[in-house]
Amino acid sequence: SRSIRLAVIPGDGIGQEVVAQGLKVLGAALPQDVKLETKNYDLGARRWHATGETLTDAELESLKDHDAILLGAIGDPSVPSGVLERGLLLKLRFAFDHYVNLRPSKLFPNTATPLAGRPDIDFVVVREGTEGPYVGNGGSLRTGTPAEVATEVSLNTAYGVERVVRDAYERANSRPRKKLTLVHKNNVLVHAGHLWKNIFDKVGAEYPDVTTDYLHVDAATIFFVTQPERFDVIVTDNLFGDILTDLAAAVTGGIGLAASGNINPSGAFPSMFEPVHGSAPDIAGTGKADPTATILSVALLLQHLGYADEAARIEAAVAEDLAERDAARTTDEIGDALAARVSG
Amino acid sequence: SRSIRLAVIPGDGIGQEVVAQGLKVLGAALPQDVKLETKNYDLGARRWHATGETLTDAELESLKDHDAILLGAIGDPSVPSGVLERGLLLKLRFAFDHYVNLRPSKLFPNTATPLAGRPDIDFVVVREGTEGPYVGNGGSLRTGTPAEVATEVSLNTAYGVERVVRDAYERANSRPRKKLTLVHKNNVLVHAGHLWKNIFDKVGAEYPDVTTDYLHVDAATIFFVTQPERFDVIVTDNLFGDILTDLAAAVTGGIGLAASGNINPSGAFPSMFEPVHGSAPDIAGTGKADPTATILSVALLLQHLGYADEAARIEAAVAEDLAERDAARTTDEIGDALAARVSG
Ligand SMILES: CC(C)[C@H](C(=O)O)[C@@H](O)C(=O)O
Ligand SMILES: CC(C)[C@H](C(=O)O)[C@@H](O)C(=O)O
């Protein structure tokens, strides 16, 4: 019989609450014969305050021994900025070679968008996840003095860019509109930018059916608000992808609905699924957190593990639920409603 | 009698057309006793194709000998990406130490915004102009091969950050709402980010009346579309400022209205004023280019040179004109209408 070994990292703030609903819906969606084994990892701010640890080598080893990871949210104002982000979240993305950071954006019917005229939005951002300005390669000299100099190095390799660009072409090729847009800033960041653009063009020759486009990141933000329907698949670097996917979430109903997968397509390491939103300590414990982003991340997880029908059922349940949603429902009520739709 | 020695760089595409209107309105706005001397510089794509030059040392020297520079737009698809941007536009910003890249965003009455509900938008972005990822410090190894590695280095100094942060506090302190928001990504780019945040906090102690706030760049893009009225003055680095100001232009009526000043506050070098938009070769010669961004840049230029009343008259003329604007007017007609309002 089939089984899924799932590592669960609820993390901080609303992370705990939304992950509970994600697991509820996962349980409801899975076929009877699939055995779900979950293992909880106590990682995040509480743990760091208690022990000073962000993620031990032993934990990293143990996480490897799973089919996937479900993560809630990491971060708390009581922890210095960067400690948990670099020491835990990015450490996982880099250690497990999550080079495809997949972030779909879809404006569901009946959800609120700040955009007038409700454009038809349905695109997916393929954000590179293991290179670029996120590598942590930098430092500072004479720190804290008037003579301080601080650097951040963006590292980009043909190896790393080609594999993610290829993944994006594959995705574009399998979607009805078959359109791929590269976003970078190759008129200023000429070295990294030209590497991206050359590889984008080279790999494109293998996908004659895919229409391609290039936009500078600044211009891309304009189209996100004036003409988001022009996008189908977008491929971009780690930092631009970070920025664009928050903006994408904002225009498609808010960060409460934005799901993501940190994917290692080779399968050598477990992929990790998480809502795009943060730990939102201001609303933790109030029941106001929207678990939908986590539940849609569970759909991405199922898709990745080969349960395409179950993933589609969750997506459909979310669409139906949003169409009827009452703004006053709690985290728990939304989770219950979606679990009921998925199993019913 | 007073005089202004103005260097004019019309540049490419619609640059020529919008600069002509900017000069028209400048002439109309200036008091009779001010002598305006302009000198034209033939720089941009045409020149590069003809001579291979982007900006000679002699031209750079000669430009110094002016009170200000008015620039239209630089760039053409026929020139490899980066050649004119790095060799001309950024060269000027860096050589003339334009460390305050000032970009006001205001939603004028009656202009189109893609945002539903028409929020009240009136903020200014102080974008650092001489450091960060724009320094051009990077390279590539084994270029064009599958083993290529390309880097981009963001350089940040306490010297460079403190002066622009201080400028932003001064601006915030002189505005009614007295609010300053720092935008960075200090949970990932920890070295540069902590330098910015530490200096922001330190200088802030000297401005007790200014309310401060910090946002990660990804979160800032969300607020630009969901709650732009929360911003008053924003200070940020070169790259984040580039991205945010295009988004700001988009939500406040489009890139046709977005003005900017590249300012050297010390006065050691001439400051340079330019629309945020590019050369738009697709509409060059059609009369469709909106010269308003250039005309508002002329207002910033006058403000910088101490002609505050004249600058205010241009701003008022633009506001009145936009309130009555007929979408069908040409570049020239808009320039004429604004010149008439300003002189009348
Ligand atoms: C928390 C932070 C490190 C993270 C990122 O920048 O990648 C987040 O913003 C995201 O988009 O997942
Ligand atoms: C043309 C380009 C180099 C420039 C920049 O990135 O600064 C432009 O986008 C701007 O914002 O003025």
pLDDT tens for each residue of chain A, 344 residues long = 799 999 999 999 999 999 999 999 999 999 999 999 999 999 999 999 999 999 999 999 999 999 999 999 999 999 999 999 999 999 999 999 999 999 999 999 889 999 999 999 999 999 999 999 999 999 999 999 999 999 999 999 999 999 999 999 999 999 999 999 999 999 999 999 999 999 999 999 999 999 999 999 999 999 999 999 999 999 999 999 999 999 999 999 989 999 999 999 999 999 999 999 999 999 999 999 999 999 999 999 999 999 999 999 999 999 999 998 877 899 999 999 999 999 97
pLDDT digits (tens, 9 = 90+) for B289-315: 999 999 999 999 999 999 999 999 999
* 8 Å CB contact of B250 and A219: no
Domain boundary among B207, B227, B252: B252
Instruction: From the CA of A85, give the closest atom in ligand 1.
Output: 3
pLDDT digits (tens, 9 = 90+) for B210-226: 999 999 999 999 999 99
| CA–CA gap between residue A25 and residue A209 (Å, rounded) | 37
Same-domain check for residues B130 and B188:
yes
pLDDT digits (tens, 9 = 90+) for B246-255: 999 999 998 9
Per cent of chain B over pLDDT 70 is 100
Domain that holds residue B78: 1-102+258-344
For residue B107, is it within any domain? no
The residue annotated as part of the active site, out of A41, A99, A134, A169, is A134
Same-domain check for residues A246 and A267:
no
B177 — phi, psi (to 5°)? -85, -20
Same-domain check for residues A266 and A239:
no
Same-domain check for residues B95 and B190:
no
| CA–CA gap between residue B110 and residue B322 (Å, rounded) | 7
Query: Min CA distance, B111 vs chain A (Å)?
Result: 14
Of B191, B217, B250, the CB nearest to A140: B191
Of A140, A195, A222, the CB nearest to B255: A222
| CA–CA gap between residue A241 and residue A243 (Å, rounded) | 5
pLDDT score, position B344? 76
Please give the structure tokens belonging to residue A302.
Answer: 């199922």
Cα A4 to ligand 2 centroid, rounded to whole Å = 49
Per cent of chain A over pLDDT 90 is 96
Same-domain check for residues A309 and A242:
no
Please give the structure tokens belonging to residue B69.
Answer: 């520079």
Domain boundary among B189, B220, B252: B252
For residue A157, is it within any domain? yes
Same-domain check for residues A121 and A247:
yes
Chain centroid offset of residue B176 CA: 23
Of A75, A138, A198, the CB nearest to B191: A138
Are B279 and B12 in contact by the 8 Å Cβ rule? The answer is: yes
| CA–CA gap between residue B300 and residue B314 (Å, rounded) | 10
For residue A293, is it within any domain? yes
Same-domain check for residues A140 and A235:
yes
Query: Hey, is A75 helix, strand or coil?
Result: coil
For residue A27, is it within any domain? yes
Burial class (CB in 10 A: 0-12, 13-18, 19+), B117: exposed
Question: Which residues in chain A (241-280) have CB-CB distances under 8 A to chain B?
Answer: 242-243, 245-247, 249-251, 254-255
For residue A271, is it within any domain? yes
| CA–CA gap between residue B183 and residue B196 (Å, rounded) | 9
Chain centroid offset of residue B47 CA: 24
Chain centroid offset of residue B162 CA: 20
Report how far apart the first and last C-alpha atoms of chain A are (Å, whole number). Answer: 23
Query: Hey, is B253 helix, strand or coil?
Result: coil
| CA–CA gap between residue B75 and residue B82 (Å, rounded) | 9
For residue B145, is it within any domain? no
For residue A107, is it within any domain? no
pLDDT score, position B44? 98
Q: Whose CA is nearest to atom 9 of ligand 1?
A: A242
Same-domain check for residues B5 and B120:
no
| CA–CA gap between residue B275 and residue B70 (Å, rounded) | 9
Query: Hey, is A37 helix, strand or coil?
Result: strand
Domain boundary among A187, A221, A252: A252
Chain centroid offset of residue B135 CA: 17
**Domain total of chain A:** 2
Instruction: Centre a 10 Å sphere on the Cβ of residue A20 and count the other Cβ atoms it contains.
Output: 17
B266 — phi, psi (to 5°)? -70, -20
Instruction: Centre a 10 Å sphere on the Cβ of residue A7 and count the other Cβ atoms it contains.
Output: 23
Instruction: From the CA of B260, give the closest atom in ligand 2.
Output: 12
Same-domain check for residues A71 and A187:
no
Same-domain check for residues A133 and A232:
yes
For residue B90, is it within any domain? yes
Same-domain check for residues A44 and A171:
no
Same-domain check for residues A153 and A238:
yes
Whether ligand 2 lies within 6 angstroms of the CB of A188 is answered as yes
| CA–CA gap between residue B272 and residue B9 (Å, rounded) | 10
CATH, residue B156: 3.40.718.10
